[in-house]
């Protein structure tokens, strides 16, 4: 696989760059997902402050996830269009690529994209639960400190639901990092 010709990157070089960037963004995402969890655990009774901090950190994690997904898609697009014999139509399938290392890398990236979708769903769900917790806290007259007939007020329940979704996203992110790292290793096996 030729990566560089006279200082200009070939499509294979651009493909490699996208795989590396996808792996880097997914690795950063994994680290960022700890932030919202820590924010909620550190301030369990201050729902507003904890949820606000968690929401900021969730936005950062969502950005990294989006960048990771975009790079996975760009790598696939480059391989299918530029790996085709003619530039007029893409290859019908990843299986039609001539390079086995690139095929292996794209198979792993496809699995990573599926997991990334699940991570996205968990992040959106966590955001919804945390927003609901803030809303419920604003509705309580006593700020959650009164003598309600339930053991935990509804906003605490929503916080717990949000934490559970974030925990699931963190576990999925471990698989996401593993798959993108394996995709990078597969494509760099040529060198």
Number of domains in the chain: 1
Residue 120 CA, distance from chain mean position: 6
Q: Which residues contact 60 (CB under 8 A, 6 or more apart)?
A: 32, 35
Query: So what's the pLDDT on residue 73?
Result: 97
Query: So what's the pLDDT on residue 191?
Result: 56
What phi and psi, each to the nearest 5 degrees, are found at residue 8? -105, 140
Give 105's Cβ-side CA count (13 Å radius): 31
- What is the span of the domain harbouring residue 108? 9-188
Query: So what's the pLDDT on residue 15?
Result: 94
Q: What angle do CA 170, 122, 38 make, to 5 degrees?
A: 45
Query: So what's the pLDDT on residue 89?
Result: 83
By residue count, the chain amounts to 191
Over residues 60-95, the pLDDT tens digits come to: 999 999 999 999 999 999 999 988 887 778 888 888
Per the domain annotation, does 1 fall within a domain? no
**pTM recorded for the entire structure:** 0.83
Q: Chunked in runs of 10, what are the mean pLDDT values of the chain (191 residues)?
A: 58 94 97 86 66 84 97 95 83 86 94 98 92 76 54 71 92 97 91 56
Query: So what's the pLDDT on residue 176?
Result: 97
Pairing of β 4-5 and β 8-9? antiparallel
Per the domain annotation, does 4 fall within a domain? no
Per the domain annotation, does 183 fall within a domain? yes
What is the residue-wise DSSP string for the chain? ---EETTEE-HHHHHHHHHHHHHHHHHHHHHHTHHHHHHHHH-SS-HHHHHHHHHHHHHHHHHHHHHHHHHHHHHHHHHHHHTSSSTTS--S-GGG-S-HHHHHHHHHHHHHHHHHHHHHHHHHHHHHHHHHHHHHHHH-TTTT-S--SSSS-HHHHHHHHHHHHHHHHHHHHHHHHHHHHHHHHHHHTT-
**Could you count the other beta carbons within 10 Å of the beta carbon of residue 130?**
28
Query: So what's the pLDDT on residue 158?
Result: 82
Query: So what's the pLDDT on residue 125?
Result: 94
What phi and psi, each to the nearest 5 degrees, are found at residue 48? -65, -50
């Amino acid at each position: 696989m030729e990566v560089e010709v006279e200082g200009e990157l070939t499509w294979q070089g651009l493909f490699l760059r996208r795989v590396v960037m996808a792996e880097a963004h997914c690795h950063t995402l994994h680290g960022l997902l700890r932030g919202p969890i820590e924010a909620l655990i550190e301030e369990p009774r201050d729902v507003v402050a904890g949820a606000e901090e968690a929401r900021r950190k969730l936005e950062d994690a969502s950005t990294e996830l989006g960048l990771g997904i975009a790079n996975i898609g760009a790598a696939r697009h480059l391989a299918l269009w530029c790996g085709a014999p003619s530039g007029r139509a893409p290859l019908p399938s990843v299986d039609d690529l001539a390079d086995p290392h690139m095929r292996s890398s794209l198979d792993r990236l496809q699995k990573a994209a599926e997991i990334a979708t699940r991570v996205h769903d968990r992040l959106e769900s966590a955001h919804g639960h945390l927003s609901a917790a803030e809303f419920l806290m604003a509705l309580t007259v006593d700020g959650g400190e009164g003598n309600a007939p339930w053991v935990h007020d509804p906003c605490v329940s929503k916080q717990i639901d949000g934490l559970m979704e974030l925990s699931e996203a963190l576990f999925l992110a471990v698989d996401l990092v593993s798959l993108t790292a394996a995709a990078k290793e597969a494509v760099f096996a040529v060198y």
